[in-house]
Amino acid sequence: MGLKRTKLLGIQAVTGINTVGILTVGVTPTAGGVGVASTTYLRGVVMHNTGLGTATSSLYVYPNGVSDISVGQTAYRLARVDIASNETFFYEMNYPLVLVDGEKIVVEVTPPASGGTGIGSVVNYQILGDTDI
């Protein structure tokens, strides 16, 4: 298989206090329309808070076989950051993280550690990387 530079996903908006799996390798079709993402090379994630107040945004990579993604599990967390309203955070790795069949990218929006409810939070996520098709 050849490496295909394509858009992995469109912008994924997570509203309110929520934990969402946004990409599962071997299951999720790419936004570029070239097929299902197989081996995926995660280079970075852009997080932008379009909500009314500060929210905490977390990024996780779950291994194959973990099916409960209803809450973030700290053992799989890569990043956690408080993002103020209209602020953008960019998470980037020096070398791509290789994801294989069944591994998942999961994002979570929670109330900020500094206080507040997190209600009215909307965080947009853009996944940056490549995939084998």
For the segment 40-94, what is each residue's pLDDT rounded down to a tens digit?
899 999 999 998 888 999 999 999 989 888 888 999 999 999 999 999 999 999 9
Pairing of strands 122-132, 18-24: unpaired
For the full predicted model, state whether its pTM sits above 0.85. Answer: yes
Pairing of strands 88-99, 18-24: unpaired
CA nearest neighbour of 1 among 86, 101, 97: 101
